[in-house]
Structure 1
Amino acid sequence: MADLFSEEWMQRFAEEWNKEPELAGALEKIGFTSSIAYGFDGEEKPRGILVVENGKAVTGAAFAGQEMNWDLRASQDNWSKWIQKGLGTMGLGMAYTTRKLKFNVGDYGAMIKDPRMAAPFIKSFTVMGRV
């Protein structure tokens, strides 16, 4: 298995993202376009980035200074746990309030209040488990 958030891992994540109607399909309906970076808490910069246009992942790559709309950080242990077990609404709320999941860039409050974005966000953790 490729290292979490490496170039290879991000490319496979993009492929799996696009196969999931509850993720890519749902976000396509609302014209969601964004650059989402992923990394480990305490590191200066994220490790990987996913570029999404109209719900579809068009690029999965190692982070190399690209502009981002979201920067999600957690410990490697927490990422691994969420990837293996998924993350529901309650778990997401707890992860955010206990600062196990940090949004260094992006508006968690706006995202979680919009079910058209929240449900696909939660689904993305399940999709990570397919990589």
Structure 2
Amino acid sequence: MADLFSDAWMKGFMEHWNAEPELSDALAQIGFNSVIGYGFVGDAQPRGVLVVDNGKATSAGEYEGEALNWDIRASEAQWKKWLAKPPGMMGLGVAFTSRKMRFEVGDYASMLKDPRMAGPFIKSFSVMGRV
């Protein structure tokens, strides 16, 4: 497996993202467009970035200073735990309130209040586990 959030890993994530209807098709239905950074707590910037246009991932790779709509961080150990066993809504809520998951950019609370976004967000963790 490529290093977590490396260029190769992010490109694999993009392929799996687009192959999962509960993620890409669900987000296409609401016209979701976003630039999402992924990385580790304590780092100055995210490691990887995924660009989503109308629900589909259109580019992915190492972060190179793109303006982000979302910047999601956790420890490397926590990410690996989620890759092995994707969290559900309750697990993500606990991770957020305990600061195991942090949003450097983006509003976690408003996203979870919208079921059209919450379901795909949760699904993204199981998709990550396929990379």
- Scaled by the length of structure 1, what TM-score is found? 0.99
Matches within 5 A, 1:1-131: 1-131=1-131
Alignment gaps of 5+ in structure 2: none
* Matches of 2:112 and 2:71, distance apart in 1: 15
* Matches of 1:103 and 1:127, distance apart in 2: 19
The Cα shift of 1:19 comes to 0.3
* Matches of 2:118 and 2:84, distance apart in 1: 20
The Cα shift of 1:43 comes to 0.5
SS of structure 2 residue aligned to 1:28? helix
* Matches of 1:59 and 1:87, distance apart in 2: 25
SS of structure 2 residue aligned to 1:92? helix
Alignment gaps of 5+ in structure 1: none
* Matches of 1:114 and 1:83, distance apart in 2: 24
SS of structure 2 residue aligned to 1:22? coil
- Scaled by the length of structure 2, what TM-score is found? 0.99
Describe the superposition over 1:18-69 as per-residue Cα deviations: whole angstroms up to 9, x where unpaired.
0000000100000000000000000000000000000000011100101110
The Cα shift of 1:8 comes to 0.4
Q: In percent, how many aligned pairs have the same letter? A: 61
